[in-house]
A = this chain, B = another copy of it.
Amino acid sequence: MRDVAVIGVGMTKWGELWDKSLRNLFVESALLAIEDAGVEKIDSMVVGCMSSGLFTGQEHLASLLSDYLGRNPIPAARVESACSSGGLAFRQGFLEVASGMSDVVLVGGVEKMTDVTGCEATFALGTAADQEYEGYHGLTFPGLYAMMAVAHMDRYGTTRDQLSMVAAKNHDNGSKNPLAQYPFKVSVEAVNKSVLVADPLRILDCSPITDGAAAVILCPLEAARKAKKPAVRIAGSGHATDTIALASRADLAWLESTRLAADKALAMAGRKVEDMDLFEVHDCFTIAEIMVTEALGLVERGRGGRAVEDGLTALGGKFPVNPSGGLKAKGHPVGATGVAQVVEVVKQLRGEAGERQVKGAERGLTQNMGGTGGSALVHIFEAG
C-alpha cells in the first residue's frame, strides 16, 4: 500500500442551519477543502452520511453531491456506519489512494438533521440501534447511554460531577472554536442542574442535533510533500465492529470495538497511545468520552472519570481530548463528525488551531463510533 496524506481540510460553521440544504452544506465544505489543498483535479470522492433517507428523503447521495460540486462523472461512493459514517468514509478514501486506484480523493461527511421534527430525528438516530430488539421496545440513544452510565457509575464509582466535568471541559475548548455550534462555556453546576433526559444523563450531557459538513483531500504522501500546506500523514487506520444491540454485550461499561480499532491503528503506525499529542474522540454523551479514554488505553479501565477530574484530558493536560470542543460543543451532524475530527487533527498538526492549539503537536488520533459502539474507527496522524 502507498503512504497517504491529508493535504486539505474544509469546514463551515455548524448549527441549526435552516437556510442551507444538505447539498449546500456539503459543497461549501468541499470547496474549502479543495482550495486549502490547492488541487484542481479530483479523481474520486467518498461521502459519509448516516441517514439522508430518513432526514431529507434523499438517497443516491454521492452522485448527487459530485454533480453539485461540479465533479461528475468521477466515481463517488456513499458509506454508512451510523454515527461513524464519517470515519468510515475517511477509511475508504484512504484505501482508494493506498491501493493506487485514485491519486486525489475528496472525503466528505454531511448530515442535515433539523428539517424534521424532534420525534422524527429521534427515530432516525434510533436506527443506529437494533430496531427489532431495542427500538421496538422504546429505547432511544439517551436511554441506551444512560444504562451504560449507570453501569459505569455502579462498577467504578464514577460520579455525577465527573460526567459534568467532561461537558465543562469540552465547552471550554469549544468556546475557542468559532465553527462550533455552541461556542460558549458551561459550568459543572449548570450541567448538574440541567433538565433530566434519561437518568442520570441531563440535557447538557448530550451532544446536540446539528446541520453540518466537513471535507478533506487525500493524496499519496510523495505528492503531498509538494502541496501548498504541510502534509499530514495517515499513519494508521483501524476499524472494528461489535453487536449494535447493547443487550448482546458482555459488559455495558466497556467499548471493545474502540479498543480493537485503536490496537489495529496503533500497530499499523508502529506507535503507542502515549505517543499521541492530542485526541479527537466520540463524546456523543459525556459518559461516552469517559469510556473512550479507557478503551484507548489513556487510563486504566474504570479510571476515565478520575482522568477528567484530574485534568489529564484538558487542553493543557497530558492527553488533551477534544480540543475542538468535541461533539458536545462543536455539534454532531452524525455523518460529518468523523471527518470533522480529521479536520481538527490536521489543523492542530499544522499549528493552525488558534486559541485551542495544542503546543508542539506532532501526532494525533481520531476515534469515531456508531451507536453505542457497534462500530468504531480509529486513525493515527503524523506531521509530514
Residues of A within 8 A of B (CB): 1, 21, 23, 44, 50-54, 56-64, 66-67, 72-82, 88, 91-92, 95-96, 98-101, 123-124, 127-132, 135, 239-245, 248, 256-257, 260, 370-371, 374-375
Contact = CB atoms under 8 A, between A and B. Distances in A.
Contacts of A245: 67
Nearest to A132: B21
B80 A80 contact: yes
A-B interface, 4 closest residue pairs, ranked by CB to CB distance from nearest: A99-B99, A75-B239, A60-B82, A59-B127
A124 B52 CA distance: 11
Contact of A371 (B53, B60, B96, B242): B60
Contact of A88 (B59, B77, B100, B132): B77
Contacts of A128: 59-60
Contacts of A21: 132
Interface centre among A23, A50, A67, A242 (most CB of B within 10 A): A67
Contacts of A129: 60
Contact of A56 (B51, B59, B131, B371): B131
B62 A51 contact: no
Contacts of A101: 1, 95, 98-99
A252 B128 CA distance: 38
Contact of A240 (B54, B75, B81): B75
B67 A241 contact: yes
A63 B371 contact: yes
Nearest to A268: B101
A61 B75 contact: no
A99 B1 contact: yes
Interface centre among A88, A95, A241, A256 (most CB of B within 10 A): A241
Given A51-B53, A79-B80, A370-B60, A73 B123 contact: no
Given A57-B123, A72-B243, A79 B81 contact: no
A1 B96 CA distance: 11
A240 B43 CA distance: 11
A308 to B, nearest CB: 27
Given A98-B99, A260-B73, A81 B62 contact: yes
A96 B359 CA distance: 37
Given A101-B1, A244-B63, A256 B132 contact: no
B75 A78 contact: no
A131 B53 CA distance: 10
Contacts of A124: 53, 59
Contact of A131 (B57, B248, B256, B257): B57
Contacts of A239: 44, 75, 77
